[in-house]
Amino acid sequence: MSQVPFPDRDHRTALRLLPWSSDDGKPCFVLGDGNGPVSRIADEIECVQLAMAQQLLGHARELLECPRVSVGELRFLGRRLSEALTDALRVAESRGLPSNAHAPQGALRQTKTMYPPQ
């Protein structure tokens, strides 16, 4: 019976959340040092997801400035923004940022309230 060798202590391996799910909706992971082919594909997909979110945010800002936006357009935009935020949070989790991170103390007081419009 052959055994799978343990990684060298000098060779760092980590479990990484991938930017896709299994067919039944469960999260997928890869174990490695971050330099393998699966990790490189995941990096590329995450870059595309973040770039798409950035473009969508620009579109959202433009659309929200338009006075004649329909309810259907806003719902569609809301769904796409929700998807983009979900992807961005998954990327953050994959890169090791805690999912329950709190804003720095006082950060909420420094933000400007945009709604209702003045």
Residue range of the domain that includes 79: 14-97
Domain count, the chain: 1
For residue 111, tell me if it sits in a domain.
Answer: no
For residue 23, tell me if it sits in a domain.
Answer: yes
Q: How far is CA 38 from the centre of its chain?
A: 17
Per-residue pLDDT of the chain (118 residues; tens, 9 = 90+): 444 444 555 567 888 999 999 999 999 999 998 899 999 999 999 999 999 999 999 999 999 999 999 999 999 999 999 999 999 999 998 888 776 655 454 443 333 334 334 3
Contact 31, 15 (CB under 8 A): yes
For residue 6, tell me if it sits in a domain.
Answer: no
∠ at Cα 115 (112, 117), nearest 5°?
105
For residue 34, tell me if it sits in a domain.
Answer: yes
Read off the DSSP letter of residue 25.
S
For residue 3, tell me if it sits in a domain.
Answer: no
| 100 φ, ψ (degrees, to nearest 5) | -110, 30
Residues with Cβ within 8 Å of 64's Cβ and at least 6 positions away in sequence, in order, are none
For residue 43, tell me if it sits in a domain.
Answer: yes
Q: Is this prediction's pTM over 0.85?
A: no
Amino acid 106: pLDDT: 43
